[in-house]
A and B are shown apart, each in its own frame.
Chain A
Amino acid sequence: METLWFIIVAVMLTAYVVLDGFDLGAGVIYPFIARTSDDRRRVLRAIGPVWDGNEVWLLAAGGTLYFAFPQLYASGFSGFYLPLVMVLWLLMLRGIGIEFRTHMEHPVWQGFFDAVFSLSSVLLTIFFGAALGNVVRGVPLRQDGYFFEPLWTNFKLGTHPGILDWYTVMAGLVALVTLTAHGALYVAIKTEGELSARARSVAVVVWPVQFFLTCVSLVATYFACHRMFYNYGRHPVGLVVPVLVFGSLAVMVLATPKGKEKLAFIASSLYIAGMLVGAVLGLYPLVLPASTDPAYSLTIYNSAAGHHGLVVGFAWWILGAALALAYFIFIYRIFRGKVKLEGEGY
């Protein structure tokens, strides 16, 4: 049962990164590709009807994490106190950047909200990457299952690292580049003409960096936390994940310049899923490794809620997930196709 919930939470977080990832990526490329006021409105309109629903995946994943692994939620969230609260502030800024810009008619304030939207998107991608980096690398858990991590120490690994060290900063950059490409492909799909072409060219330009950083992150993980590879040694079937990651990258580099953005976008989504699944497979059954003493690590067993609750929860979760999936398919069908500016919405 614990393993099942581990998978469910991982799937929900992956869904969040794939879905809200393109909103964030659109925010990153926004100042570079959207040159005219119409361009900017098109980009915002491409994500306008969906970003909020996408962000709900984070909320729902958080709620599910709380429900299934309350112990992890308690120590993880209090330990990552400052960066988590900053993520909350950035999510707020991103939300009001998107929504309130459309209510402002003054060019000065539109420029201001554009900057808010874009900057908060950039920072969020880096924060999310660094967060994953922290979980992979491990945190200074104490015997009582709690910890408190400073924002930075000396940027080196060790038993008492900071939120930011070279490894997590690198993870942040991987996330920034990955989601930039992801968002660029989404905008390329949803828009037409020059705007779409510019978005596509961003994805083309970013690709070598993405490829390079993917390799770096693999090597770095090998040196920084060797234990991430034990599961792969024991179950070589897990090696399909790196194949998926590099296969997706190959499809992206082949499909994007030919204008097959949809294929490239699917590949990018698979790449993201592959990277996350790769990390999760390496961690299992840990959910929060300890950098201090491996015995203090939080696992799916010592952090899960009671058995009865997990069983009951599965019944309603299946129902809720089926409903949510149905809404999403419906909404994306309604808003399918290229963005038009005339006469929609209020």
Chain B
Amino acid sequence: MDSALLMHRLHFAFTVTFHYLFPQLTMGLAPLIVVLKTIALRRNDETYNKAARFWARIFGINFVIGVVTGIPLEFQFGTNWSHFSRFAGGVIGQTLAMEGMFAFFLESAFLGLFLYGEKRLSPRAHWWSAVAVFLGSWLSGYFIVATDAWMQYPVGYARAADGSVQLSSFWALVLNRWAWWQYAHNMSGAAITGAFAMASIGAFYLLWGKYAEYGRIFIKTGVMAGCIFSVLQLFPTGDRQGRLIARYQPVTLAAMEALFTSGPGAPLVIIGQPNVEERKIDNPILVPKMLSFLTYRRWEANVRGLDAFPQELWPQNISLLYYSYHIMVGLGTIFIAIMVISLFLLWCGKLFNARWMLWILMLSLPFPYIANTAGWMTAELGRQPWLVYGLFRTADGYSKTVSPGNAMFTLLGFMGMYTVLGILFLFLVRREIENGPDLDSAVHG
């Protein structure tokens, strides 16, 4: 790969991957905080209010890092991907600008109110500010996913005389069918991160023997939400997303599954190492005919493998794409198992004393992050070699005027900056967890 292209791709990949560690938790926590606030309001129970405030503090720290690492992404469309912006700005500028106008204002304005304004608001008004933050963060997610969905499945555009694309149908862009399923799948993934985080901290408190009252609330809320969203993640959202890929990006599907040869009754690879040179899977563990069934609901359906497509249409990094996809699916399956067992124990009234399960819940925290990251890597690596699927190649999109040396300078700068941010984040969150939810009037600053 051309080194300028590689630099600009790494630049975006690094900044976006780091960024998305934070919004997935804020988007996941936002509805759970609304749930806690609702119970507090309904039962007039101060414990739930304190529980909500505890998560609001974690939310706030996350939100700051999410915002400051999100700004560079918007800017990079111009700084590092200017030829892409010139090509597609007339279409995706719509969704990106709408995110600013509709979501950011809502979210940031009401987060300030939610974090600083509790004493100035009635309980009901404070509840509404929590709802506004939830809406803002989920709306923001929609516009971003709609932008990505357009790059995966471009609709509602027309070619202009200068070769760029321009908007021709607003509703086609905003109601892109690809966006609906991708959004549902993505938000469910974020909710899983939020639910696991809540359950994990709850398990930590119970194992620690401190703040046990809160620990039980956190586990209950986290496990119930986690169970719902882990199942939704697989079906229908993941299933529908997969079938869209099978239909509109068949070569991507073949690469995700490392299916080198076409044929009826295609098997599903559970584990194995793709060997792209020899066009086979090493040490495979297969479920016969399963891929045909999952894709077309028929055991004998013909699935096109990579051999059915010219090599210049293959995603360049088949191994990484394959692993990303399999890590995502594998972890998603494990999440369902963990959450269903936990819910069963909760239902029997045994979960709070089942120390082995509490340990599992506590230690499971990093895995939803890995699964969400792997999911996005699947989507974006699978789109290659296209920046806009079928229309515009990634190799044509980066800023030709920005030399690889300049791009590396800023990439290294971002790496340093984000390392500091990451350390600060861990330090501050650890401190909040140690301080616990039971602060009376938790005034900082």
Question: Which residues from B are CB-within-8-Å of A56?
Answer: 100, 104-105, 108-109
Per the bound structure, the CA–CA distance linking A84 and B75 in Å amounts to 8
For B108, the chain A residues whose CB sits under 8 A away are 52-53, 55-56
Contact A53:B402 (CB < 8 A) given known A313-B94, A335-B116: no
Residues in A neighbouring B78, C-beta threshold 8 A: 66, 73-74, 76-78, 84
Tell me if B179 is interfacial: C-beta within 8 Å of chain A.
Answer: no
The residues of B that contact A88 with a CB separation of less than 8 Å are 71-72, 75
Give the segment of B61-69, B180-188, B214-222 that binds chain A. B61-69
What class of interface size applies to chain B in its complex with A?
35 or more
Q: Is the CB of A312 within 8 A of B170?
A: yes
Which residue of B109, B111, B431, B439 is within 8 Å of A103 (Cβ)? B431
The answer to whether residues A327 and B120 also contact, given A82-B406, A89-B413, A308-B166 and a CB cut-off of 8 A, is: no
Q: Does A21 make an interface contact (CB < 8 A)?
A: no
The answer on a CB contact under 8 Å between B160 and A343 is no
Q: What CA separation (Å) do A70 and B165 show in the bound complex?
A: 11
A31 at the interface (CB under 8 A from B): no
Residues of A within 8 A of B57 (CB): 346
Q: Does A237 contact B (CB under 8 A)?
A: no
- A98 to B259 alpha-carbon distance, docked (Å): 52
Which A residues from 90 to 143 make CB contacts under 8 A with B? Answer: 91-92, 95-96, 99-103
Chain A interfacial residues counted at CB < 8 A: 73
Chain A contacts of B71 at CB under 8 A? 58-59, 88, 91-92
- Inter-subunit contact B82/A146 (CB<8 Å): yes
| B residues near A301, Cβ cutoff 8 Å | none
Closest to B83 in A: A74
Enumerate chain A residues within 8 angstroms of B67, measured Cβ to Cβ.
52, 55, 95
Report the bound CA distance from A52 to B121 in whole Å.
20
Q: Is A66 touching B445 in the complex (CB atoms < 8 A)?
A: no
A64 to B97, Cβ gap below 8 A? Answer: yes
Q: Provide the bound-state CA to CA distance between A105 and B71, in Å.
A: 28
On whether A343 and B443 interact (CB within 8 A), knowing A81-B402, A100-B428, A306-B166, the answer reads yes
Shortest C-beta distance, A105 to chain B (Å), equals: 8
User: Does B74 sit within 8 A of A, measured CB to CB?
Assistant: yes
Can you list, as one digit per residue, whether each of B399-435 has a CB less than 8 Å from chain A (1) or not (0)? 1111000100110010001000100100010010000
B113 proximal to A (CB < 8 A): yes
Please state if B100 and A346 are interface contacts (CB–CB under 8 Å).
no
In the assembled complex, which residues on chain B have CB atoms less than 8 Å from the CB atom of A321? 101
Known contacts A63-B74, A96-B68, A309-B167: A71-B89 contact under CB 8 Å: yes
Q: Which A44-60 residues sit within 8 Å CB-CB of chain B?
A: 44-45, 48-50, 52-53, 55-56, 58-60
Interface residues as binary, B75-110 with A (CB distance below 8 Å gives 1, 0 otherwise): 101111011011011110110111111101110111
B90 touches A309 (CB 8 A): yes
Query: Is B442 in the interface zone, CB < 8 Å from A?
Result: yes
**A82 pairs with B410, CB closer than 8 A:** yes
Chain B residues, CB < 8 A from A308: 166-168
Q: Which of B90, B99, B441 contacts A63 (CB 8 A)?
A: B99
A52 CA / B97 CA spacing, docked (Å): 18
Question: What are the residues of chain B within 8 A of A145 when measuring CB–CB?
Answer: 86
A103 and B82 in contact, given A73-B89, A305-B93, A343-B443 (Cβ under 8 angstroms)? no
State the CA gap A242–B421 with chains docked (Å): 44
B102 A78 Cβ-Cβ under 8 A: no
Report the Cα distance A91→B120, complex, angstroms: 29
Q: Which residue of A lies closest to B70 (CB)?
A: A59
Name B420's closest neighbour in chain A (CB-CB): A96
Q: Give complex CA distance A289, B116 in Å.
A: 44
> Contact at B94–A67, with CB atoms within 8 Å?
yes
- Whether A60 pairs with B100 at a CB distance below 8 angstroms is yes
| A contact residues around B98 at 8 Å (CB) | 63, 316, 320
Cβ of B112: which chain A residues have Cβ within 8 Å of it? 48-50, 52-53, 331, 335
Residues A101 and B445 in contact, CB atoms below 8 Å apart: yes
Chain A residues in 8 Å Cβ range of B166: 305-306, 308-309
Residues of chain A within 8 A (CB-CB) of B65 are: 96
Partner among B106, B170, B401, B444 whose Cβ is within 8 Å of the Cβ of A346: B444
Chain A, residue nearest B174 (CB): A316
Residues on B with beta carbons closer than 8 Å to the beta carbon of A58: 71
| CB-based contact B94/A323 at 8 Å | no
- Contacting residues of chain B (7-28) with chain A, CB-CB under 8 angstroms: none
Instruction: Kindly list chain B residues whose C-beta atoms are within 8 Å of the C-beta of A323.
Output: 101-102, 105-106
A87 to chain B, nearest CB (A): 9
**Residue of B64, B78, B102, B170 most packed against chain A (CB within 10 A):** B78
A102 CA to B61 CA, complexed, in Å: 11
With A71-B89, A77-B79, A147-B401 as given contacts, are A100 and B424 in contact (CB-CB < 8 Å)? yes
| Measured CA separation A76–B68 after assembly (Å) | 21
**A343 in complex: contacting residue of B56, B119, B428, CB < 8 Å:** B119
Is there a chain B Cβ closer than 8 Å to A148's Cβ?
Answer: yes
For residue B53, CB closer than 8 A to chain A, the reply is yes
- Asked whether, in the complex, the Cβ of A78 is within 8 Å of the Cβ of B79, the reply is yes
**Residue B115 CB within 8 A of the other chain:** yes
Answer whether residue B117 sits at the interface, using C-beta atoms and an 8 A cutoff: yes
> Closest B-chain residue to A318, C-beta based?
B101
Are A334 and B401 touching (Cβ within 8 A)?
no
Tell me the smallest distance from the CB of B77 to a CB of chain A, in Å: 7
User: A321 to B98, alpha carbons, bound, how many Å?
Assistant: 10
CB-CB nearest in chain A for B88: A70
Q: Identify the closest chain B residue to A321 (Cβ).
A: B101
CB distance from B106 to the nearest CB of A (A): 7
- Residue among B77, B80, B167 with max Cβ neighbours from chain A (10 Å): B167
Partner of A89, one of B88, B102, B417: B417
A44 to B103, CA, bound (A): 25
Known: A81-B399, A147-B401, A309-B91. Contact between A73 and B77, CB under 8 A?
Answer: yes
Tell whether, in the assembled complex, residue A63 and residue B68 are in contact, meaning their CB atoms are under 8 Å apart.
no
- Chain A residue nearest to B90 in the complex (CB): A305
Tell which of B93, B106, B406, B441 touches A309, judged by Cβ atoms closer than 8 Å.
B93
Q: Is the CB of B402 within 8 A of A70?
A: no
Given A62-B100, A344-B119, 13 other A-B residues pairs in contact with their CB atoms under 8 A: A53-B109, A63-B101, A88-B71, A96-B65, A96-B68, A100-B64, A146-B401, A305-B93, A305-B166, A309-B91, A323-B101, A344-B116, A344-B443
Give the 6 A-B CB pairs with smallest separation, nearest first: A70-B89, A77-B78, A102-B445, A320-B101, A306-B166, A67-B93
Interface, chain B (partner A; CB < 8 A): 53, 56-57, 60-61, 64-65, 67-69, 71-72, 74-75, 77-80, 82-83, 85-86, 88-91, 93-94, 96-102, 104-106, 108-113, 115-121, 158, 160, 164, 166-168, 170, 399-402, 406, 409-410, 413, 417, 421, 424, 428, 431, 439, 441-445
7 pairs, CB–CB < 8 Å, chain A vs chain B: A53-B112, A71-B89, A82-B410, A91-B71, A99-B60, A305-B93, A321-B101
> Which residues in A have some Cβ–Cβ distance to B below 8 Å?
41, 44-45, 48-50, 52-53, 55-56, 58-64, 66-68, 70-71, 73-82, 84-85, 88-89, 91-92, 95-96, 99-103, 145-148, 305-306, 308-309, 312-313, 316-317, 320-321, 323-324, 327-328, 330-331, 334-335, 341-346
